[in-house]
Structure 1
Amino acid sequence: MRDLCTLNQKQLDALRELGNIGCGNAATALAQFLNRRISMSVPNAQILPFSKVAELAGGPEERVMGIYLRVLGKIKGSFLLLMPERTTIRMLKILIPTSTVEIPLKINDFERSCLCEMGNILAGSFLNALSAIVNVPMFNSIPSLAFDMAGALIDSVILGMGDVGDHVLMVETMFTDNQENLKMHIFLLPDPVSLELILSAIGVN
């Protein structure tokens, strides 16, 4: 079985395009969820080793919010959404205008629930776009949310993934709500069997 680091250029390009399409679908869903116009920068999709993930999130000691979900169905794997504290605060103040959260983040149960629902919607719309392209059903588990330094959070996610290779598909994008940039990173890691199914479905196996 292959993992992401063993793919050829054609296969990598195809997966990057899947990531871009998934991100576009997620932007549309986010706009509907927030009930406001959301524009999106051109996504930057890369295949990169886990060792580089924390660097792209601002460095291992950068405090971030992480929402983690399992990808379920015929396609299996992991989905991780990382957002800087400032983006998280902006999201909360859009969702809950009365919210008084500031850095360092301390959120109540209702705020946590709203963020989890946002993560659930983003993950679901991202995976729905991929599912339509590869014509294979996939859905996500209930999200789990954590605030931590990027390095520690990513290490804990990797431990929970098991032996599925050491590379991940990352899509970096910037959403804008006409007032502030909302930066986030989306990471998708299909297991080796699922990776083969995806490559076969898009004709680059």
Structure 2
Amino acid sequence: MNKKMMTMGMSALLLATVGLGSFGNGKLVHAEEVTEKPSEVTITLHKKAFTTVPEERPNSGLVSDDFGNENLPGVDFEMFDVTDVYYNLLKDDPRTTDIDDDGLEPAAAIALIQSDHTVAWFVSYGIESIDKQTTGENGEAVFEKVQVTETTGELRDKVYLFLETYSPAHISRIASPMVVMMPVMMPDIIGGVWDGTSWKD
């Protein structure tokens, strides 16, 4: 099945929570449909403030005006390539004693990276920050020329972890870790709502 892909930007909101799949509540994605898989994309994180925690819901990846109303400048985000970690989790669940016969489902692997990214993973996989951006007055941190697919080896689709690594003292909570798996697909919106699982053909 051919799925329509999208180039994207996404937002990390002040009180974001981890959600379903690659994106959770509070990670808004501005998407533009494309028919061919691009080699690079631009990812824009939008840092917003809330007065109350928004209700968790699947993120469609499309523009939404109901997330936060105050842009937050001066917030640092770092991007890490966790492609090896992700594909290894598909082969083996590190929380069990079985070796290479009990891999995780994709959504579970993403959730584990979001919730349990550890110093040990960073050390054993040699994971280092590959880009760092700071939000400007518009609350945006822009990561340009983000690779979609490996250029050597197995040519796997890339997987990235975004972490908020610094925020001004007046910000009480940081954005949840965000995992983005390439390519990002265009959601199938029915009646203005996305169920969190259906994608356009």
Q: What range is the shorter-chain TM-score in?
A: under 0.3
Give the TM-score of the pair, scaled to structure 2.
0.27
Relative contact order higher in (CA < 8 Å, ≥ 6 apart)? 1
